[in-house]
Amino acid sequence: MLITISQLVIGSVDLLAAFFLMFGLWRMSSPVTAPSGILLAGGAMVAAVLASFLYVFTVDAAARPDLPLNVGLAVGALVLGVGVAWWSGRKVAITAMPQAVALFNGMGGGAAAAIAAVELFSMKAHGAAALTVTLLGALIGSVSLSGSVIAWAKLDEILKKPLHLPGLQIFNGAVLLLALVTGGYMVFVTTGAATTLLPMPTLIEMFFGLALLYGIMMTLPIGGADMPVVISIYNAFTGLAVGLEGFVLQNPALMIAGMLVGAAGLLLTLLMARAMNRSVGKILFASFGPGAKRKQGAIKGSLKPVQASDAGIFMRYAKSVIIVPGYGLAVSQGQGKLYDFVKLLQAAGVSVKFGIHPVAGRMPGQMDVLLAEAGVPYDLIVQMADINEEFKTADVALVIGANDVVNPEARTDKTSPLYGMPILNADQAKKCYCVKRGDGKGYAGVVNPLFYADNTFMVYGDAAAVCVAMAEAVRGLGAPAAAA
C-alpha cells in the first residue's frame, strides 16, 4: 500500500515538475515573463527533490538495512551542495558569469556520470541496451565534467594559453576510441559474448579515466574567444547525459528535462557558431594555430585621433546615437560609467540605443546582462538584426571596446577570415567614434578598415576612463535646460 502511494505521489509530482520546467523555459521568451518562469521552475524542482525521498519505500532489499544511513547522507549532501552553490551563486560577479555557468554545468555532468558509475559497479543495468545507454551517459557526463572544469579554468584565466601540440588531435582521437572500445568490451563481457581479461571494476575505472582525460584534452586547445560555443556544447552534453541516465533509472522527468536541455544547447551552439562565422567542427577539432598568413590589401585613409571630451560634446548635440559595446568595455568595467554618459545624452534629448552583436562577450548574450546590471533598460538594448537598418540614419555610432564585430571587411572582402560573419553596420552611420586602448587588431588578427574610414574618429584610452571624460565634458556644458 505504502509502495503504491509513494509511486503515485512521485509519479504525479515528477509529471508536474517536468511540465513546469518546460513552462519555465517557455516564459523566457520575454524579459517581462522570464523572472516568474524561473521561479515556477524552481518551485517544481523543490517539489521533485522532496518527493524523491519517498523512494525510501521502494528501495532494493540489499539497501534496506542501511536505509537510515543513506537517507542521512542524502540530506547531508543536499544541504552541503545547495548551501555552497547557493552562496557562491549569490556572490559571483556578473562579469564572472560564464565561469560560474561552466562550473555548475560541470557539476551536473559529474552527477550524471556518478549515477552511471553506481549503476555499473552494482551491475544493476541488465541487458546490452540498458548497459550501452548507461555507458553512453557516463561517457558524455564525464567529458562534460572535465571539459567544463577546463573551460572554467580558462575563463577564470587560471589557464591562460590554449594548448597547441602537434598530433594532439590524433592523440585525442585515440583516447576517445580507446574509451569506446573499453565500453564496447564491457557490453560484450556482460552479455557473455566475450571472456574477461581484466576484472570488471578495473574496466569501469579505465573507462571513466579515459572519458575524463578526453574532456580535458579536447578543451585545452580551444581559445578564449570560442568559449561561448564550448560552454553551450557542454551544457547540451550534460543535458543529454542526464536524459540517458533518466532512462536507465526509469525516471521520465529526468529524461524530459535532460533531452530538453540537450536540444536547447544544440540550437544555441549552432546559433553561436553562425554568429561567429565558425563551424562547430572547426572549433572543436581543428587545432587552429596561426593559419595561413594573408596579405591584407592596403587600407585607404588614416587614423584620426580625437579627445574624449570633443567626442562627448559632439554626441550631446546629435539627434541619435547607437552604441556598439564590446568585450573591451566589460574588461574595463565601464558599463556603469557608460550608462551615466548615456543618461546625460538622454537628458539632452538625444535618442540613444545599444546595438548588440550576438557574440559580444564570453558567452552568448553576456553583454546584455552586463548592461542590464549597469541599469540600462532592456528596451534600449537592441539586437543586431533589428538595429542594423538604423545605422544609416544615425548621427553617431559609438564603438566601444569592439573590433571584429564592426569590421566592414566581413561584408566585402572574400579573402578575409571574417568574410561572411554578420556584423553591425557601424560604418554606415554619419559619424563613427571608436574607443580603443591602442591600434591593436581584433581577435581575428585583422586590421579593421572602419578605423581608417573618412567618417571615423579614434578616441584612445581605457573604455571606462573615456566614458568618464565624455560625461564630464557634457556636464561641463551646464544643465541641459531645454530637455525633451
- Subset of residues 43 to 62 that bind another protein, contact rule: CB under 8 A: 45, 48-49, 52-53, 55-56, 59-60, 62
CB of 413 to another protein, least distance (A): 26
Residue 351 contacts another protein per CB under 8 A: no
By the rule CB under 8 A, 11 interacts with another protein: yes
Please enumerate in sequence order all residues whose Cβ is within 8 A of that of 167, keeping only pairs 6 or more positions apart, or say none.
none
The least CB distance from residue 432 to another protein, in Å, is 23
Closer to another protein by CB, 287 or 346: give it. 346
Nearest to residue 326, comparing CAs of 469, 449, 457, 434?
434
User: Is residue 226 a contact point for another protein (CB under 8 A)?
Assistant: no
Q: Which stretch binds another protein (CB under 8 A): 91-99, 190-198, 409-417, 452-460?
A: 91-99
Strand order in the sheet with 381-383: 381-383, 351-356, 320-325, 396-400, 431-436, 456-460
Q: Considering the complex, what minimum distance in angstroms separates the CB of residue 363 from another protein? A: 6
Which set of grid coordinates corresponds to residue 368?
546584455
Binding flag, residue 365, another protein (CB under 8 A): yes
- CB-based contacts of 461, cutoff 8 Å, min separation 6: 308, 435, 437, 469
Where is 397: in which H helix or E strand?
A: strand 396-400
Touching another protein, residues 232-261 (CB under 8 A): 232, 235, 238-239, 242-243, 245-247, 249-261
Give Cα 235 to chain centroid, integer Å: 8
Nearer to another protein, 421 or 434 (CB): 421
Task: Tell me which residues in 271-330 interact with another protein (CB under 8 A).
Answer: 271
CB contact set of 253 (below 8 Å; sequence gap of 6+): 14, 15, 17, 18, 21, 48, 246
- The DSSP element (H or E) to which 322 belongs, if any, is strand 320-325
Pair 424, 411: CB distance under 8 Å: no
Compute CA distances 308 → 76, 185, 322, 410, 433, whole Å: 56, 67, 17, 28, 9
How far apart CA 134 and CA 245 sit, in angstroms, is: 6
Among 2, 129, 158, 181, binds another protein (CB under 8 A): 129
The site that binds another protein (CB under 8 A) totals a number of residues, namely: 136
Site for another protein, residues 172 to 211, rule: CB under 8 A:
none
Residues 409, 344: Cα–Cα separation, whole Å: 34
Number of other CB atoms surrounding residue 443 within 10 Å? 15
265 binds another protein (CB under 8 A): yes
Of positions 16, 40, 74, 313, contacts another protein by CB under 8 A: 74
Yes or no: say if 175 and 214 are a contact pair by the CB < 8 Å rule: yes
Q: Which of 193, 267, 306, 477 binds another protein (CB under 8 A)?
A: 267
Strands (E), 244-319: none
Minimum distance between the CB of residue 16 and another protein, rounded to whole angstroms? 13
Q: How far is the CB of 40 from another protein (least distance, A)?
A: 11
User: Strands 431-436 and 456-460, how do they pair?
Assistant: parallel
Residue 366 touches another protein, criterion: CB under 8 A:
yes
Catalytic residue among 14, 226, 340, 404: 404
Nearer to another protein by C-beta: 94 or 216? 94
Q: What is the dihedral of CA 77, 80, 85, 86, to 10 degrees?
A: 120
Residue 422 in contact with another protein, rule: CB under 8 A? no
**Which of 167, 184, 375, 440 contacts another protein by CB under 8 A?**
375
Residue 14 or 226: the one with the smaller Cβ distance to another protein is 14
Three-state DSSP at 19 gives: helix
| Cβ nearer to another protein, comparing 206 with 447 | 206
Query: Measured from the CB of residue 11, what is the shortest distance to another protein in angstroms?
Result: 5
Binding to another protein, residues 94-123 (CB under 8 A): 94, 97, 100-101, 103-105, 107-108, 110-112, 114-115, 117-119, 121-122
**Is 60 a known active-site residue?**
no
Which residues are catalytically annotated?
404
